[in-house]
Amino acid sequence: MRFRSVAAVLMMVLLAACSPDYNWREVSLADGQVVAIFPDKPREQTKTLPFAGHDIPFTLSGTVLGDTVFAVGHAPLPLELGQDSEQRTLMYRQIVQSFYGNFGLTPPEALPEPGTRFSIEGQGPKGLLRLEGVVWMHSGSVTEGLVTAPAGSFPQAQADEFLRAIKAPGG
């Protein structure tokens, strides 16, 4: 009897992993510098972000499935900014601190190191939200991978798969 219930649970897990809602596909981004898998066809938007006297083109590719957002952002760094480790550190801190700010939270003094996964929970317009992400800094670019969803229904297995599969410079 126990074997049947374990088999039934395993079958449900396998079926959930193959859910038609998650139609995983590999996507090449940033002229092939970044590779990610998305659970649906991503859309792309580019905007210019000012930093340290530079206008940096930042491209965000993402998809929304239900209440969950899967996104990868990438920005090439100007040569002089890429060669300045202090400026890259400042940029990294501003990026990660902005995620906390978006949740109305004060960032911790000690932020995760670049390339280290982190999670944040905070109040959003529709309730408690969870963000899991990672930001990579490289001398030539910055890349971020993010998954955001309501905290109570955060798709942990899919977020793990998405974030683990991102291949970025320096990542």
pLDDT digits (tens, 9 = 90+) for 85-132: 999 999 999 999 999 998 899 999 999 999 999 999 998 888 999 999
Q: Is residue 86 part of a domain?
A: yes
Residue with tokens 């209440």: 67
pLDDT attached to residue 10: 32
Q: Is residue 3 part of a domain?
A: no
The token pair at 72 is 């990868």
The token pair at 23 is 């139609």
pLDDT attached to residue 62: 97
Q: Over 50: is that where the pLDDT of 3 sits?
A: no
Contact 27, 37 (CB under 8 A): yes
pLDDT attached to residue 125: 81
For the residues 147-161, what does the mean pLDDT come to? 97
Q: Give the C-alpha separation, 112 to 144, whole Å.
A: 13
pLDDT attached to residue 126: 81
Q: How confident is the model at residue 9 (pLDDT cuts 50, 70, 90)?
A: very low
Total structural domains in the chain? 1
Q: Is residue 81 part of a domain?
A: yes
Q: Is residue 15 part of a domain?
A: no
Q: Is residue 91 part of a domain?
A: yes
Instruction: Give 67 or 6, the one with higher predicted confidence.
Output: 67
Q: Is residue 4 part of a domain?
A: no
For the residues 28-46, what does the mean pLDDT come to? 93
Q: Which residues contact 166 (CB under 8 A, 6 or more apart)?
A: 34, 35, 36, 72, 134, 143, 145
User: Average pLDDT of the chain?
Assistant: 86
pLDDT above 70 as % of the chain = 87
Q: Which domain holds residue 40?
A: 23-165
User: CATH number, domain at 27?
Assistant: 2.60.120
Q: How confident is the model at residue 171 (pLDDT cuts 50, 70, 90)?
A: low
Q: Is residue 14 part of a domain?
A: no
DSSP H helices, the chain, are 2-17, 79-82, 85-102, 156-165
Q: Over 50: is that where the pLDDT of 11 sits?
A: no
Q: Is residue 120 part of a domain?
A: yes
pLDDT attached to residue 2: 32
Q: Which residues contact 149 (CB under 8 A, 6 or more apart)?
A: 67, 68, 69, 129, 130, 155, 159
